């Protein structure tokens, strides 16, 4: 077989990895040997972060709903139970948004949930 020199291919691959490491500190943004594991770890953190983001926002929405509910004299768990029994299907993201931006509508939903208890 003929000899295959990989200079162009390797250089292109190295350049791609180093470009992806833009903004990293120290040698991690300059040298391939340091940049490659940094990029791999960064990718792992990005993947985990996309999963954590969903958990964090759900917790935030629940905290906001709970705070708004307690002002209206009902606990979060009782509120959600009342919504379920009344057959009201509004997700926590929308409930949180209503609690913050439209308290009158949220109060009406809470009154409906109280009827279900």
Q: At 19, which CATH number?
A: 1.10.1900.20
Q: What angle do CA 46, 52, 57 make, to 5 degrees?
A: 125
At residue 5, the pLDDT reads: 81
Q: Note the pLDDT tens digit of each residue in 14-47.
A: 999 999 999 999 999 999 999 999 999 999 999 9
Instruction: State phi, psi for 21 to the nearest 5 degrees.
Output: -90, 15
At residue 3, the pLDDT reads: 86
* Residue numbers of the domain that contains 111: 8-116
At residue 117, the pLDDT reads: 86
At residue 2, the pLDDT reads: 85
Residue identified by tokens 């964090």 is 56
The residues of the chain scoring below 70 in pLDDT are none
Domain-embedded: residue 2: no
Domain-embedded: residue 3: no
Of 110, 115, 101, 113, nearest to 71 (Cα)?
Answer: 110
What is the enclosing helix (H) or strand (E) of 52? helix 32-71
At residue 92, the pLDDT reads: 97
Number of domains in the chain: 1
């Amino acid at each position: 077989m003929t000899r295959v020199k990989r200079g162009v291919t390797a250089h292109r691959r190295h350049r791609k990895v180093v470009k992806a490491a833009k903004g990293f500190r120290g040698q991690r943004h300059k040298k391939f040997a340091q940049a490659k594991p940094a990029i791999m770890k960064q990718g792992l953190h990005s993947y985990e972060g996309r999963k954590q983001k969903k958990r964090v926002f759900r917790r935030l929405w629940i905290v906001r709903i709970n705070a708004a509910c307690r002002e209206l004299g009902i606990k979060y768990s009782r509120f959600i139970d009342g919504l379920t029994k009344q057959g009201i299907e509004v997700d926590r993201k929308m409930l949180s948004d209503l609690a913050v931006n439209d308290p009158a509508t949220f109060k009406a939903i809470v009154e409906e949930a109280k009827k279900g208890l």
